[in-house]
A and B are shown apart, each in its own frame.
Chain A
Amino acid sequence: MEFNLKIWRQKNAKAKGRFETYHISGIESDSSFLEMLDILNEQLISEGADPIAVERGCKSGGPVAFDHDCREGICGACGLYIDGRAHGPDDRITTCQLFMRHFKDGATITIEPFRSRAFPVIKDLVVDRSAFDKILQAGGFISVRTGSAQDANAILIDHETAEKSMDAASCIGCGSCVATCRNGSAMLFVAARVSSLALLPQGKPEAAKRAAAMVAKMDELGFGNCTNTRACEMECPKSVSIENIARLNREFLKAKFTEKA
């Protein structure tokens, strides 16, 4: 298969970005999207496309930087905006689980980073998602010291509740919800964590406080508000439901009502 790739190139956070177009051929339909980019990069390297060449007028700017790691859809490192969709034209997948058989031979594919005010570009398609870590540091945990736990079976959790908590806990922190949201909201991400813990008896004591702290941090870091467009849920590779946002809102309200003056 062959493709024309329109790729966002940006040297660093301060530089101005632009699209560059590349042609690539000889791609197997069973290759993954990231393997296709690997091949493009080998091509760009072999062509001697380095920054020195760029200064001499070569437009390619060296290999394309993109985040990736596990390549099996679980680490959440990869995340590209492909033809106007987070993680591209397939459902319930991350970019690394997208295969070239989903594209028409000869197609032009537009590849951008996940764009959001809270995710500044580091280089090309790589963005800084450390805002997510900061939100979790604000309260996305249960305060238990190592070694202080009781016997695991002393806490009973019915099957359905455990499954619901697991559904929310499936979030991989890729940021597609933020990239997809027209408001750049991180509500689904925050809700997934708040919900998975609030559903469980172990998480209840801190649930309200946790919701308030994480929402406050989210606002502080420049994420937008939720207007219930449900786009996040549609594009979530792990199908995290917006039902969790409703649960987050409940916990948040609870926090506000019980807040000590």
Chain B
Amino acid sequence: MAELISKIPDGPLAEKWTKRKSEINLVSPNNKRKLEIIVVGTGLGGASAAATLGELGYNVKIFCISDSPRRAHSIAAQGGINAAKNYQNDNDSVFRLFEDTIKGGDYRSREANVYRLAEVSSAIIDQCVAQGIPFAREYGGYLANRSFGGVQVSRTFYARGQTGQQLLLGAYASLNRQIAAGTVKCYPRYEMLDLVVINGQAKGIIARNLVSGGLERFGAHAVIIATGGYGNAYFLSTNAMYSNGSAIMQCYRKGAYFANPSFAQIHPTCIPVHGEQQSKLTLMSESLRNDGRIWVPKKKEDVEKLRKGEVKPSQIPEEDRDYYLERRYPAFGNLVPRDVASRAAKERCDAGFGVNETGKAVFLDFADAIQRLGHQRVEERYGNLFEMYQKITDSDPWQEPMMIYPAIHYTMGGTWVDYDLQSTVPGLYSIGEANFSDHGGNRLGASALMQGLADGYFIVPVTIGDYLSHKINEPKTDVSAIEFVEAEKGVQARIDRLFAIKGKTPVDVLHKKLGNIMWEYVGMARTEEGLKTAMKEIKAVREEFYKDVCVPGTQYEFNQELEKALRLEDFFDIGMLMARDALERKESCGGHFRLESQTEDGETKRDDKNFMYVSVWEYKGEGEEPVKHKEPLKFEFVEVKTRNYKK
């Protein structure tokens, strides 16, 4: 068993990162040239890490499952990126961003990691502006900011509703510069299918060329996983269709512990499900809650009329509307954190106030904002989001309020890493959404982009030097080593097994079944009984998969069904792990809401005495029960309180 050593430096909070950096061994330029690093994933984390490591002089190989690094799902992030610049003079600071993030995560993340994130946030904005990212500007030419959920300052930088796109294009441009310089080699349309570990250290990967279908071996001195989250275990989510948890599961099976798997974020403002044929859910940016007001009718008869189309939402008089977030949380109003807003929407809909035919929708209304700011200002702030909404729903948000409902959006859990972002397998690092480190039980809006770029530009390129400084005399990894041969054989056996099933059910049908179980029992409200049911049912669908899945075609061609089948195998395991972790965490915290543990007014009730820890799962072999380790969380610099957004 690997030991959980978090490597958090001693000393005052504000000096920990500086201290750690000063301890890290350096690698000289002539030695960097001899060292190879594999980066898997090309989103904000992967692209920025590969570009920066390339600049430093390392030899980098980066792997991308799409046709281009620019497709990575970071591109879809809309609202913005946080930074403690205090450009608004609203008394923001590094400490406040740190404190908001700790509190937003319901005191289930590491103080030192979160503080470092806040500390480097400013440099990210500087870097991005220098790259030519067209952030929104005031008329005087200075950078503009807006506010996001769970905070009382305006610290979010944005580029319309396309901030993720612009930041990714910046990181991708830096990556392109290094590809042109020859320090980074990019492998588009390649998918990692196993991690190769030699003498307990990460030494390479097995990947499938998605065009030719062949398996290939790649060696390195270290491997960085930057493959994002596993929200697609729910089938319907705001994640892109290719987003998957397979790389982190491959690492898990090779000894990298998996932390807090049950912590998944449900985003309150997504376009509601329209029917059985739906393939994914579309997010409407949290930034809309800056100016939009969320409501449902106060009277059931109005609900009925709305559902039958007898009355338009704009015709319901002001006094008959229940702005339930403003009512329940006067201090934060519509800008409460995501988990709180999602549960409140569910509560209203469960009570029978859902405003569409399915009863699963609430209104997000801009009438007041349009009146206050004028059409043009609203258009500038949210124009593309309004158009997107209209294209999808065929309804005009300039005339009638949007309809929204919560959906799976992000996973806070992931590979367990220490302060250096290194996993329990030496030489294996995990960054961005793929790791667990910064967001605890709930992530605040506009913080995912911040973490991806913090890890990629400023943290892992420094910390990895400490490991690599011991590898300067190590020759290039020999991919004919027995460990590579065995790993490739294992992947081949997995593929052969899938083709041999020759069943009748398409992969997506089974994925939807898994998704339904996950949403029903491992979603917004979890119970002991439900979670046990989930584990039973996931097992049953998994058995059905191995009996009756149909994977058409052959391995040696562009075969999207094979890709999906391989990813679904891992989603079954992730689903089980999520349910197991949720079952054992008998408290509520952040997005993890156990019905057995709530306050009188329906808020989450933490149990700090028994659960103030990171649950860290160790793989014990196929069919074996995983073992849970605990990393206790200590709070030395913030007072642990009950999260309160009411006052």
- Where the two chains meet, the residues of A that have a C-beta atom closer than 8 Å to any C-beta of B are 11-12, 27-28, 30-32, 34-36, 38-39, 41-42, 45-46, 48-51, 62-63, 65, 67-77, 90, 92-93, 97, 99, 101, 122-123, 126, 128-130, 132-133, 136-153, 155-159, 162-163, 165-166, 169-170, 172-173, 196-197, 200, 202-203
Asked if B275 contacts A30 (CB within 8 A), the reply is yes
A42 touching B508 in the complex, CB below 8 Å, given contacts A34-B279, A123-B557, A197-B132 = yes
Contacts A50-B552, A149-B127; is A39 near B132 (CB within 8 Å)?
no
Partner of B391, one of A90, A126, A157: A90
- For B505, list chain A residues within 8 Å (CB): 46
With a cutoff of 8 Å between Cβ atoms, the chain A residues found around residue B552 in the complex are: 45, 49-51, 62-63
Given pairs A31-B277, A92-B387, 17 additional interface contacts (CB within 8 A):
A27-B277, A31-B275, A35-B278, A36-B277, A71-B240, A71-B241, A72-B283, A73-B388, A75-B66, A133-B70, A133-B188, A146-B458, A152-B143, A153-B87, A157-B134, A165-B132, A200-B134
- The closest CB in chain B to the CB of A162 belongs to B137
Q: What is the distance, in angstroms, from B554's C-beta to the closest C-beta of chain A?
A: 7
Question: Do B508 and A28 touch across chains, with their CB atoms under 8 A apart?
Answer: no
**245-292 of chain B: CB within 8 A of chain A:** 274-280, 282-283
B368 at the interface (CB under 8 A from A): no
Q: Mark B46-80, 1 if CB is under 8 A from A, else 0.
A: 00100110010000000000111111110110000
Instruction: Say yes or no: A41 contacts B141, CB within 8 Å.
Output: no
Q: Is B166 an interface residue (CB 8 A)?
A: yes
Most buried by B among A75, A101, A146: A146
Structural contact, A132 and B68, CB atoms closer than 8 A: yes
Q: How far is the CB of A37 from the nearest CB of chain B, in Å?
A: 10
The size bracket of the interface on B is 35 or more
Q: B316: CB under 8 A from chain A?
A: no
Chain A nearest CB, measured from B206 CB (Å): 22
B130 at the interface (CB under 8 A from A): yes
B493 within 8 A of partner (CB): no
Query: B550: which of A46, A141, A200 is its contact (CB, 8 Å)?
Result: A46
Q: Which of B174-182, B336-344, B526-534 is found at the contact surface with chain A? A: B174-182
Residues A147 and B550 in contact in the complex (CB < 8 Å), given A45-B561, A71-B280, A170-B162: no
Is A156's CB under 8 angstroms from B76's CB?
no
Q: Name the residue of chain B whose CB is nearest to the CB of A98.
A: B391
Q: Is B55 a contact partner of A146 (Cβ separation < 8 A)?
A: yes
Report A-chain residues with C-beta under 8 Å of the C-beta of B125: 152
Chain B 152-182 interface mask (CB, 8 Å, partner A; 1/0) = 0000000110101110010011101101100
Which of A49, A71, A150 has the most chain B CB atoms closer than 10 A to its own CB?
A: A71
Residues of chain B touching chain A, judged by Cβ–Cβ distance below 8 Å, are 48, 51-52, 55, 66-73, 75-76, 85, 87, 123, 125-143, 159-160, 162, 164-166, 169, 172-174, 176-177, 179-180, 186, 188, 211, 240-242, 274-280, 282-283, 380, 387-388, 391-392, 394, 457-458, 461, 504-506, 508-509, 550, 552-554, 557-558, 560-561
Alpha-carbon distance between A132 and B173 when the two chains are bound, in angstroms: 12
Which B residues are CB-close (under 8 A) to A67? 67
| Pair A150/B558 contact, Cβ less than 8 Å | no
Instruction: List chain B residues, Cβ under 8 A from A136.
Output: 172-173, 176
| Contact yes or no, B461 A138, CB < 8 A | no
Q: Contacting A146 at CB < 8 Å: which of B51, B142, B394?
A: B51
Which B residues are CB-close (under 8 A) to A197?
132
Complex: A251 Cα to B176 Cα, angstroms = 21
In angstroms, Cα B176 to Cα A67, docked, is 22
- Tell me the complex Cα distance, A12–B554, Å: 13
| Contact partners of B133 in chain A: CB under 8 A | 169
Pull 5 A–B residue pairs with CB atoms less than 8 Å apart, ordered by A.
A32-B279, A72-B76, A74-B162, A140-B176, A142-B132
Whether B137 pairs with A76 at a CB distance below 8 angstroms is no
B76 partner, pick from A41, A49, A74, A155, beta carbons under 8 A = A74
CB distance from A230 to the nearest CB of B (A): 22
Q: Known contacts being A69-B242, A152-B85, is A11 close to B557, with CB within 8 Å?
A: yes
CB neighbours of A101 from chain B (8 A): 394
* Structural contact, A138 and B68, CB atoms closer than 8 A: no
Q: A51, A90, A146: which contacts B461 (Cβ < 8 A)?
A: A146
Q: CA A62 – CA B506 in complex, angstroms?
A: 12
Which residues of the partner chain B approach A75 to less than 8 Å between Cβ atoms?
A: 66, 70-73, 75-76, 240
Q: Determine the chain B residues whose CB is within 8 A of the CB of A27 once the complex forms.
A: 277
> Closest approach, in angstroms, between the C-beta of A125 and any C-beta of chain B?
11
Q: Which of A50, A69, A172 makes the CB contact (< 8 A) with B66?
A: A69
B131, A72: Cβ atoms closer than 8 Å: no
By the criterion CB–CB under 8 Å, are A76 and B71 in contact?
yes
Q: Which residue of A lies closest to B550 (CB)?
A: A45
How far is the CB of B570 from the nearest CB of chain A, in Å?
Answer: 18
